[in-house]
Amino acid sequence: DTGVSQDPRHKITKRGQNVTFRCDPISEHNRLYWYRQTLGQGPEFLTYFQNEAQLEKSRLLSDRFSAERPKGSFSTLEIQRTEQGDSAMYLCASSFERHTTLNTEAFFGQGTRLTVV
Amino acid sequence: AQKVTQAQTEISVVEKEDVTLDCVYETRDTTYYLFWYKQPPSGELVFLIRRNSFDEQNEISGRYSWNFQKSTSSFNFTITASQVVDSAVYFCALSEADTGFQKLVFGTGTRLLVSP
């Protein structure tokens, strides 16, 4: 098991372009989370999936953001018409939850650092 | 509303000193989890500990120890005999039953610098 894998590690894009990030969770982890972390701040929750279903989205996730997790395996996060304010580290995490009321630790990937110029 | 406060932005110590990182949380929920994560320069968040709201026993793991006090809504983290490899940003986080434990609310982190 290689842990949570994110690709790319770094992305520089011009304002207005679309970008897509990929996250491969730990095998058989049924929950997958996306967080965003700006410089000097803690990670902020964006959205999460239980298997292939996207069950919650933060207000931080504007209409330009879309996330998918086809077949409950890897996930993609797409940002359309990027803005300079989108520059941040995008972190993916996964966990295995056997019960809805149990919260085990989430394992994080190394993140994708996005710079919008 | 839930909130996690880490008032210490940066702490500098010399190797072998003990250091305590403070964490104060706010929640209206009676069932919640508290976490500590370490973020080294590589960027990956490394899980250190999870504690549920019904377990106030302090915990020790090697050089790490945690002091959970519901009376003061604090979950402080102490590193004994610090080492250079402990240099990182440390985050305290909260997860609540009200939100189905679906997300972590993080503090702003404390950067720990351990010099030789």
Residue B47: list chain A partners with CB under 8 A.
Answer: 105-108
Contact B111, B89 (CB under 8 A): yes
Cα–Cα distance, A42 to A52 (Å, whole number): 27
Cross-chain Cβ contact B109/A33 below 8 Å? no
Mean pLDDT of A59-75: 92
pLDDT for position A84: 96
Task: Provide the pLDDT for residue A103.
Answer: 58
Which residues from chain A sit within 8 angstroms of residue B106, using beta carbons? 42-44
List, for residues B55-81, the tens digit of each pLDDT value. Answer: 888 888 899 999 999 999 999 999 999
Dump pLDDT digits (tens) for B11-70.
999 999 999 999 999 999 888 999 999 999 888 899 999 888 988 888 888 999 999 999
Radius of gyration of chain B (CA): 14
Provide the β-strand partners of residue B52.
B33
Locus of tokens 């020790």: B60
pLDDT at residue B1 is higher than 80: no
**Which residue in this structure is represented by tokens 């894009």?**
A13
Contact A42 B4 (CB under 8 A): yes
Q: Residue A111 and residue B17: Cα distance in Å, rounded?
A: 31
The residue type of B71 is S
